[in-house]
Copies of this chain bind each other. A is one copy, B any other.
Amino acid sequence: MMNQIHKTNAFENILVNKAQGSWFWDINENKYLDLTSGMWCCNLGHNHPEIIQAIKNQLDKIIHKNTRFLTPTTLEAAKSILNFFSNDYDKITLLNSGSEAMEFAIGFARKATKQLDILSLKDSYLGAYGLSKESSYTSQKASKLKIPYPICNSTQCKCLEEYDSLINHIIENYASKLACFVLEPIMVSGGIIKPCSNFISKLCKMLQEVGVLIIVDEITTGFGRAGKKFGYECFGIKPDIIVLGKSLGNGYPVSSIITYEYVESKISPNNMYYAQSHQLDPLGAAAALSVIDVFKNDRIIEKSQDKIKNFNNFFETLSHPCIQDIRSYGMIFGIQFQPYANFSTKELILNLKNNLLKEGIMIGISLGKDLIRLLPPLNISEKEIEFFKQKIVKILNSID
Contacts and interface: CB of A to CB of B under 8 A. Distances in A.
Interface of A: 1-12, 14-19, 24, 27, 34, 36, 38-42, 46-47, 52, 55-56, 59-72, 74-75, 78-79, 82, 90-93, 96-100, 103-104, 107, 128-131, 245-246, 251-253, 257, 259, 261, 264, 269, 272-281, 283-284, 362, 364
Nearest to A252: B63
Contacts of A55: 59
A14 B107 contact: no
Contacts of A40: 277
Nearest to A26: B69
5 smallest A-B Cβ distances: which pairs? A64-B251, A130-B130, A6-B93, A19-B62, A8-B274
A90 B362 CA distance: 30
Given A19-B61, A99-B100, 13 more contacts: A1-B75, A1-B78, A4-B91, A5-B78, A8-B275, A11-B68, A16-B69, A17-B61, A18-B61, A47-B62, A64-B252, A96-B96, A129-B130
Contacts of A92: 4-6
A2 B74 CA distance: 10
5 contacts: A1-B75, A4-B78, A5-B70, A8-B93, A55-B59
Contact of A91 (B6, B9, B12): B6
Contact of A2 (B36, B70, B269): B70
B66 A278 contact: no
Contacts of A39: 64-67, 275-278
A4 B257 CA distance: 12
Contacts of A281: 251, 253
B71 A15 contact: yes
Nearest to A362: B66
Contact of A253 (B62, B68, B96, B259): B96
Contacts of A283: 251-252
Number of copies: 2
Given A129-B107, A130-B130, A68 B9 contact: yes
A36 B69 CA distance: 12
Given A17-B62, A41-B64, A92-B6, A97 B275 contact: no
A91 B2 CA distance: 10
Nearest to A62: B19
A4 B274 contact: no
Contacts of A276: 39, 97, 99, 128
Contacts of A59: 47, 52, 55-56
Contacts of A66: 34, 36, 38-39, 362, 364
Could you say which of A27, A61, A103, A253 has the most chain B C-beta atoms within 10 Å of its C-beta? A253
Contacts of A14: 69
A59 B251 CA distance: 10
Contacts of A9: 67-68, 273-275
A7 B129 contact: no
Contacts of A24: 62, 65
Nearest to A267: B7
A98 B277 contact: yes
Could you say which of A36, A59, A72, A284 has the most chain B C-beta atoms within 10 Å of its C-beta? A59
B67 A15 contact: no
A20 B272 CA distance: 31
A65 B16 contact: yes
A274 to B, nearest CB: 4
